[in-house]
Amino acid sequence: MTTDVHRTIDAVWRIESAKLIAGLTRIVRDVGVAEDLAQDALVAALDQWPESGVPNNPGAWLMQTAKRRGIDAMRRGSMQDRKHEQIGHELETKQESVVAELDEALDDNVGDDLLRLIFMSCHPVLSTEAQTALTLRLLGGLTTEEIARAFLSSEPTIAQRIVRAKRTLSEAKVPFEVPRGEELTSRLSSVLAVVYLIFNEGYAATGGEDWVRPGLCEDALRLGRILAELMPNEAEVHGLVSLMEIQASRLRARVGPSGEPVLLLDQDRGRWDRLLIRRGLAALERAGAITPIMGPYTVQAAIAACHARARTGDETDWPRIANLYGALAQLTPSPIVELNRAVAVSMAFGAAAGLALVDRLTGEPSLKGYHLLPSVRGDLLMKLGRFEEARVELERAAALTRNARERELLLERAAACTRGVAAR
């Protein structure tokens, strides 16, 4: 029975923690103090709920308990400095009115508070690594251990990163607000980048033993869906949600029975999640209804939609994908975008056409340690029957990747090139 209650508490925390921390941050104006109060409420739940049972409104219980813990801490004298005395005073002043109408208050403010917390967690005063860790902690409800495991880092490193991030926000006096005007565009871009970074680490892990980490994809999708609800008129938010929904639809087909990678054209499309595809296509339509001008995430979603609509690999509209990558290169010029365009061109117009584009990128400094450049080049050389050159490229790609599963796949393809040479 106690185990069941603990499972329930874990589920409640994942659902309610972001709203709880956001609501407390609105009151205390310090995300570090807000999280401490939320954690105190969680400890109280772990202590009391196994005996008393889970309350009918666990989110309201946690909020009320967190506020009372803040007042108690002030009264015990553990909040001695002026800032914490002010926080305690604000909590006490608001206690009666807020608790009396707690459910209504939560419903009225939760959307705005969550949006403010998202923008605060992804504030440019923080590094990308800090933004990612703090977002997963405050909005994803992940423990420090879970974040460390997801990003193949040590728990102390992640803990320090989160502590420093909260301290930086406090010292910089970052306001708990949603940016407006021109600032909103750039700040929203940072938020979307962090969410997609989290998704990508789950979709194609950069290191470790696993090719995919579905949990991170789910966390990113949940954040994206929250953003879409809170910012319904932002086309790029819907574009990112569309992109993640469609890519997540392939997760089951991306790995074989032993966890080995299965590349796109080799996947069993019957294993693609049709519900996620429908959700992704609907989100893409919503983005298009807001504006006909596609932003970078909407363009990438349109590319993903081309794959989703094709019943087989042979039915894929590769010329359209190549054109969309061309449009993406205009919006966000990048050697990686050009590499992806080269792949699409090779599928649409032949391996030689793709290789000509790839060869232009071989001297690009930013791709020097990027394993997918020799991987793509090796694949195209293999298709052209230049097996020895292909083997060298694929072995170089295997040496550059930090993902064990991907390394195995690349070495298998390199071995196939050796067999190809021997068969000639």
Arithmetic mean of pLDDT, 180-209:
89
Residue 247, both tokens:
């890519």
Q: Where are the alpha helices (DSSP H) in 172-256?
A: 182-203, 214-230, 235-248
Mean pLDDT of the chain: 88
pLDDT at 104 over 50: no
How many Cβ atoms sit within 10 Å of the Cβ of residue 292? 8
- Per-residue pLDDT tens digits for 26-65: 888 889 988 999 998 989 888 899 888 888 888 889 988 9
Q: Partners of 403 in the beta sheet? A: 208
Inter-residue contact 262 to 254 (CB < 8 Å): yes
Residue 59, both tokens:
């989110």
* DSSP conformation class of 261: B
CA geometry: angle 211, 212, 215, nearest 5 deg: 155
- Per-residue pLDDT tens digits for 324-365: 999 999 999 999 999 999 999 999 999 999 999 999 999 999
Per-residue confidence (pLDDT) for residue 283, from 0 to 100: 98
Per-residue confidence (pLDDT) for residue 75, from 0 to 100: 61
> Which region among 1-10, 116-125, 187-196, 317-326 has the lowest average model confidence (pLDDT)?
1-10
Measured in degrees and rounded to the nearest 5, phi and psi for residue 48 equal -100, -40
Higher pLDDT, 190 or 5: 190
pLDDT at 295 over 50: yes
pLDDT at 74 over 70: no
pLDDT at 389 over 50: yes
Inter-residue contact 395 to 411 (CB < 8 Å): yes
Is the sign of the CA dihedral 121, 125, 127, 130 positive or negative? negative
Q: Partners of 207 in the beta sheet? A: 402
pLDDT at 96 over 60: no
Per-residue confidence (pLDDT) for residue 12, from 0 to 100: 84
3-class SS of residue 403: strand
End-to-end C-alpha distance for the chain, whole angstroms: 67
How many angstroms separate the Cα of 179 from the Cα of each of 28, 59, 185, 191, 402?
19, 27, 9, 12, 38
3-class SS of residue 250: coil
Q: CA dihedral defined by 22, 149, 42, 167, rounded to 10 degrees? A: -50
**269 Cβ contact list (under 8 Å, min separation 6):** 253, 311, 312
Per-residue confidence (pLDDT) for residue 98, from 0 to 100: 42
How many angstroms separate the Cα of 153 from the Cα of each of 27, 144, 150, 401?
33, 10, 8, 17
Per-residue confidence (pLDDT) for residue 30, from 0 to 100: 87
3-class SS of residue 81: coil
Using alpha carbons, select from 224, 196, 213 the residue that is nearest to residue 152. 213
Higher pLDDT, 352 or 142: 352
Provide the CA 127 distance to its chain's centre, in angstroms: 16
Q: Partners of 208 in the beta sheet? A: 403
Model pTM?
0.84
Higher pLDDT, 19 or 107: 19
**What gap in Å lies between CA 280 and CA 244, rounded to an integer?**
8
- Per-residue pLDDT tens digits for 1-18: 567 778 888 888 888 888
